[in-house]
Structure 1
Amino acid sequence: MSAGPDTPAALWRRNLPVWAALMALLALSAWAAYWPFKTLNTVTGFAIAGAKAGLVLLVFMQLRRASGLVRLAAACGLFWAAILFTLTLADVLSRLAGG
């Protein structure tokens, strides 16, 4: 019996390394939270979060093989998240500038 693309063995071979990478990135994120570098912690945290999001998007959401409409919906979601982050940052910065 050959292992097709939807057999449990094929799914384990595809998902187990990604899960291990996500767990390693989680451990790195927890370890980096205790670094004594202020700005570098933020940059490292965002880089790790981006790597984890990229793995989830490409492997678990299967955007590599998705249709154009599904990719457009994912891009719209990322665009909307960017708008929300920008508005939150603008609010925080305006409160810091005010005193």
Structure 2
Amino acid sequence: MSWLTSLTGRAGTDESGPAPTLVVDRIACTGRGICAHLLPESIHLDEWGYPIIVDEHPDPRAARTAMSLCPTGALHEIRQERQIRKERQISKKE
């Protein structure tokens, strides 16, 4: 397993592109378990308290809350390259 455990969000079909991907940086994570308490349907804890992703479609609001409350910032999102390119094109026009 890689040091990033990936959690794929729902792919959007609108113009905004695909949903961000939520990831856990397994090196930065200290196993506090806050993410699992905030996203119990999506994240379980192993026997040492480290997160295991079990659901690929978390509630976006709960995911943002969990990311903001992670004490080490190990839980974060990665946007798809297509979405990043589109945002750069928009900012260049402004």
TM-score norm. by structure 1 comes to: 0.25
Which structure features the higher share of strand residues? 2
Specify which structure has the bigger relative contact order, considering alpha-carbon pairs within 8 angstroms and separated by 6 or more residues: 2
Which structure features the higher share of helix residues? 1
TM-score norm. by structure 2 comes to: 0.26
From the CA coordinates, give the structure whose radius of gyration is larger.
1
